[in-house]
Amino acid sequence: MSFTYVLLNVVLLLGIIVLLIYMQKKHISFSKRVFTGLGLGVVLGAILQVIYGTGSDILNETTEWYNVVGRGYIRLLMLIVVPLIMVSIIQSIINLEKSSELGKMAAWIIGILVSTAMIAALVGIGSAALFNLNADQINAGQAENDRGAMLESRLGDVENLSTPEKILSFIPSNIFLDMTGERPTSTIAVVIFSIIVGIAVLGVRRKNPVHAEMFTKIMNAIYAVVMRFVTMILRLTPFGILALIATTVANTDIGGIVELGKFVIASYAALFVMFIIHLVLVGVFGLNPMMYLKKVLPVLSFAFTSRSSAGTIPLTIQTQKNSLGVDQGIANMSASFGATIGQNGCAGVYPAMLAVMIAPTVGIDPLTPGFILQLVLIIGISSFGIAGVGGGATFAALIVLSSMNLPVALAGLLISIEALIDMGRTALNVNDSILSGTLTSRILKKLNIETFNDETAIEKDTSL
């Protein structure tokens, strides 16, 4: 009998996918198809939870099949991330008119990412204080204790690393190993390798222009193929979002959310404030915040459901270039850097809130100027190299809490709501990547204002 119910649930998903395909054939816009998939996914997930209940065998088997679509889509995106980063950055550098532009681009992008991460830390501190969050208020069950023990076991991986050693971990020693994503800093290592290759080509151009020209033509051709591959995968976005959000809603622990409701509200209040700050920065630089918001919403919807900054890189690049008018090189670099540096949600808001919650349990007043200054500086420094996939926030928390001499095991108290909060954190991370590219392009006078202000620009890529 359970097989019949599972089959019925899968047929429901396939029926919605057929509807989305029909919408595509009718040339309904990409963003509308994305939001349709998101909305119907929420409804489908809620229905499944009401009928079967969280943790039931039928629901677990159903979501396994749904993951073929949802997680399968994420795997395809992750498949293209490393080739896209390498080819995009190399191609961007070798096509620069002046090599001096590279330093300016990188400096502004990284500066914006780290600066906003430090602002996010202050917002996180404020939210935790406003809602009077304290780790002593949370009851620990078996799952929370197990999570805490796991965090303590992982602490050994980062606790004994000095700041110079952490910086050294960004430098690749085996690029093929980093291409597998083996290390938390693998993505930034691939970025550094790609920059070095691009700079090397610029050197070859001065001494042997024939070879440099040949390499440039090959790289431009590879870039065209990779971007075509990206477009093919992005066509699946509405289906991926549908399955991901349906699975998430169906498996949401309502009891955990109710018990830890104050932390959930405080977290999303902080994330919302940071989104507002991002929009204010857009306005400060003479751009229309509402136009910006309209164009980034489809990307943020995917980031929200996928919980993967790295997996969102292809969408992040496409949106900056096609919808916001960001220079191609800046779009490539900001998306790549933003997946591992200065993540406002995972590396800014989250560890700051945890530190404020946990400090009173060891007799520390988290609202003293000295504590706040130390916390903000540590978050700014440690915001480099945070893994851009689910779990990156845990890595950031380990670094920050251990650096502040705070017990990391208490972070395990939030396991029941981790996924729900991580969705909002990831959306904020991705928005910061797009923000850094947009503002850098504006500052360096490389932003196409006509494209940015064109309401239809987001729909001009008819292949989607």
107: tokens are: 């400096």
Q: Domains of the chain (ranges plus CATH)?
A: 2-459 (1.10.3860.10)
Tokens 């303590």 label which residue? 152
Closest by Cα among 245, 459, 249, 270 to 357: 270
Burial annotation 386-418 (CB, 10 A radius, 16+ → b, else e): bbbbbbbbbbbbbbbbbbbebbbbbbbbbbbbb
SS3 352: helix
42: tokens are: 């929420």
* Cβ atoms 84, 226 nearer than 8 A: yes
Tokens 């969102």 label which residue? 312
Return the HEC string of 373-390: HHHHHHHHHHCECCCCCC
| Contact partners, residue 139, CB within 8 Å, separation at least 6 | 259
* Cβ atoms 326, 246 nearer than 8 A: no
d(CA 391, CA 157): 15
Tell me which DSSP letter residue 288 carries: -
- Each as own residue / partner, the long-range contacts of residues 227-232 (CB below 8 Å, 24 or more positions apart, any chain) are 229/80, 230/80, 230/84, 230/314, 230/317, 230/318, 231/318, 231/461, 231/463, 231/464
pLDDT string in tens for the chain (464-residue length): 678 888 998 999 999 999 999 998 888 888 788 889 988 998 998 898 888 887 788 888 998 999 999 889 888 888 888 888 888 888 878 877 666 678 888 899 999 999 999 999 999 999 999 988 877 655 544 444 444 455 545 545 555 556 676 667 778 888 888 887 777 677 778 888 988 898 898 888 888 889 988 998 998 899 888 888 888 888 888 998 899 888 888 887 666 566 567 888 899 999 999 999 999 999 999 999 999 999 999 899 888 887 788 778 888 988 998 899 998 889 988 988 888 788 898 889 988 998 888 888 888 888 999 999 999 998 888 777 665 444 566 667 777 877 788 877 666 556 556 777 888 999 999 999 999 999 999 999 999 999 999 887 764 544 56
Residues 48, 52, 54, CA angle at the centre, nearest 5°? 85
What pLDDT, on a 0 to 100 scale, did the predictor assign at position 270? 95
* Cβ atoms 375, 125 nearer than 8 A: yes
SS3 341: strand
Identify any residues that bridge with 341 across adjacent strands, giving them in sequence order. 384
Pseudo-torsion of CA 237, 53, 416, 152, nearest 10°? Answer: -100
pTM of the model: 0.80
* Cβ atoms 449, 286 nearer than 8 A: no
DSSP 185-238: THHHHHHHHHHHHHHHHHHHHHH-HHHHHHHHHHHHHHHHHHHHHHHHHHTTHH
Tell me which DSSP letter residue 171 carries: S
